A and B are shown apart, each in its own frame.
Chain A
Amino acid sequence: MRWTNILGTNSKAFVPLLLLLPGVLLFASFFIFPMAVLIENSFHGYSRLTGVDPGFTLNNYIQILSDPYYLEICGRTLKLGLMTSVVTLVIGYPIALYLGVASARQRAWIILLVLSPLLVSVIVRTFGWLILLGSNGLLDNLFKAVGLEGGSMLHNEAAVVAGLANVLLPFMVLSISTSLQGIDPAVPLAASSLGASPWRVFASVTVPLSLPGVLSGLLIVFSLASSSFVTPALLGGANYKVLSSMIYEQSLVLQNWPLSATFAVTLMFIVFTVLALQRRALEGGKYKVVFH
């Protein structure tokens, strides 16, 4: 019995099992089981005096889906995701397009500059926005220098969208570029040799063929924006509440575990629905590119 046969392709089934076991054990105890605990907690009641009530109840879900204050928060979360994904699309598409025509050196620089913020913590990038938009910040002083009224531009939806668009732009650019790279250069060439103007080629060939990437980028950014916590918390201020701020507040501040778990499950439902659509978009893309 050669149990050391770790690289063989026709080895016994227990070899991959042995290789996977440590990872599976870790995931089971630090991912799957805690998630089960979380979901279970969302079906419990809570009272400030007696703590978590062991009985099963749907009250938390009913409360979130009927309380106008909570519904407004859900709506704001969806709106934030939508606005951020549209803004990153408008900024990201031209960049992805330019990557296709730029010289190798320019391309390398753009990729470096657009992607490198991914290596810096979200907390640092968001803090940078506080200095850009806050009172005595860059924009404030710039406005004052040209005689306009400055002041803090923080604590509103626009600030949160700007900050999130900055943080999430790389995902949009990556998604669209991958899609544009997948277009066979012969296709736009064929269109123009058949007499189509450059604009026509762009509108009827390039854009439709890049749609899977666009859609997938929109959905990725939507799911990341609607589940972001740090940026809305710091740039949105105390009155700008989204689902993630409710999760934080209910668990770490108010210690109401069942309700915070319910908010988490609600957010998870939104994110998973969007990601399932995204997977669909990517699969659809494979069949749309008929020229391959």
Chain B
Amino acid sequence: MTKIVRFWLGVFAFSVCLFSVAPVLVIVVESFTDTDYIVFPPPGFSFKWYVEFAKRAEFVDSAVVSLIVALCACLMATWLGTMAAIALVRHEFRGRRVVQGFFMSPLSLPGLILGLALLQFLAGYGLARTVVTLTLTHVVITMPFAIRFVSLALLSIDPNVEKAARSLGADSWRTFWNITFPLIRPGIAASVVFSFILSFDEVAASLFVSSATAMTLPVRIFVYIDQNYDPLVTSVSSLLVFLAVIALFIIEKTVGMGRLFGLK
């Protein structure tokens, strides 16, 4: 590739990076505005919209709901996903590919449709929409990722290591906890962190599965923006951005963003 082409490609890449992060940056900057309305760039600096957020019980409640749901969902998805991944990677059985496809299928289904299906199912059978139903919905959405991350980790370890432990007399449980688990820990960490953030960010399905008493933060933000346009949600949204930065930091330290999404 010639130098000039390379240079212009670089300039283009830089602008696209800017385009990618622009909406997120704009929100974080705007959240520190001292105005009562949205104006960009903000004329002055203040924390008043963060204080305002802390005063709004419905937003704080939703933040708590989101936190509980995401925490339970990421642990449950990783736990069930690890079990399924072991079955799919370490065992040969009839219909293995079908089961694999079955567990991956929520990936192709738009969240909106899953949400609508769950709403009609829950309401049709008179079941209440609670934190529990929200959590289980998020487990369905995040489990494909958990299975994928743990499967990749399982495939990357040398099966001889497990065999060696077994031949030295360790039973299956011991082999798993002392050999396999430490080796797949990066995959499990990736699964927990990614499932957490995916669950915390989910809007489309949660919109239908949320109720007045159990509403996640992104849904609360959507409902609010649909009616109002003021800097209050910029502070709430920024909290989601800060959470993403923490997740990003953990992912970079453990697996790396590129590898998480399958790039070499």
A-to-B contact residues, CB < 8 Å: 2, 4-9, 11, 13, 15-17, 19-20, 22-24, 26-27, 30-31, 33-35, 37-38, 41, 91, 94-95, 97-98, 101-102, 106, 108-132, 134, 136-138, 141, 163, 166, 169-170, 174, 177-178, 181, 198, 223, 227, 229-230, 233-234, 244, 247-248, 251-252, 257, 260-261, 264, 267-268, 271-272, 275
CA distance A291 to B122 in the complex (A): 53
Q: List chain A residues, Cβ under 8 A from B92.
A: 9
- Given the contacts A22-B80, A97-B9, A115-B258, A227 and B110 also touching, CB distance less than 8 Å: yes
Whether A141 lies near B41 (C-beta < 8 A) is yes
Residue of A nearest to B263 (CB): A177
Whether A23 lies near B226 (C-beta < 8 A) is no
Whether B27 lies near A124 (C-beta < 8 A) is yes
- Given the contacts A98-B12, A138-B41, A252-B208, A111 and B113 also touching, CB distance less than 8 Å: no
Whether B263 lies near A174 (C-beta < 8 A) is yes
Q: List chain A residues, Cβ under 8 A from B2.
A: 198
Q: List chain A residues, Cβ under 8 A from B119.
A: 251
CB distance from B225 to the nearest CB of A (A): 6
The listed residue (B21, B99, B237, B264) touching A123 by CB distance below 8 A is: B237
The prevalent SS among residues of A at the interface is helix
Whether A251 lies near B19 (C-beta < 8 A) is no
B-to-A contact residues, CB < 8 Å: 1-2, 5-6, 9-10, 12-13, 16-17, 19-27, 30, 37-41, 80-81, 83-84, 86-88, 90-94, 99, 102-103, 105-106, 108-110, 112-114, 116-122, 124, 136-137, 139-140, 143, 159, 162, 166, 171-173, 175-176, 180, 197, 200-204, 207-208, 218, 221-222, 225-226, 229, 233-234, 237, 240-241, 244, 247-248, 251-252, 257-258, 261-264
Q: List chain A residues, Cβ under 8 A from B87.
A: 15-17, 19-20
Q: List chain A residues, Cβ under 8 A from B118.
A: 30, 34
Whether A198 lies near B23 (C-beta < 8 A) is no
Whether B248 lies near A261 (C-beta < 8 A) is no
Q: List chain B residues, Cβ under 8 A from A115.
A: 257-258, 261
Since A20-B87, A27-B102, A170-B20 are in contact, a sample of 17 more A-B pairs with Cβ atoms closer than 8 Å, ordered by chain A residue number, is A4-B173, A6-B176, A7-B90, A30-B118, A41-B124, A101-B1, A119-B251, A121-B221, A123-B203, A123-B218, A123-B222, A124-B237, A198-B2, A198-B5, A230-B204, A244-B110, A272-B108
Whether B24 lies near A102 (C-beta < 8 A) is no
* Total A-B Cβ pairs within 8 A: 299
Residue of A nearest to B159 (CB): A9
The listed residue (A15, A117, A264) touching B21 by CB distance below 8 A is: A117
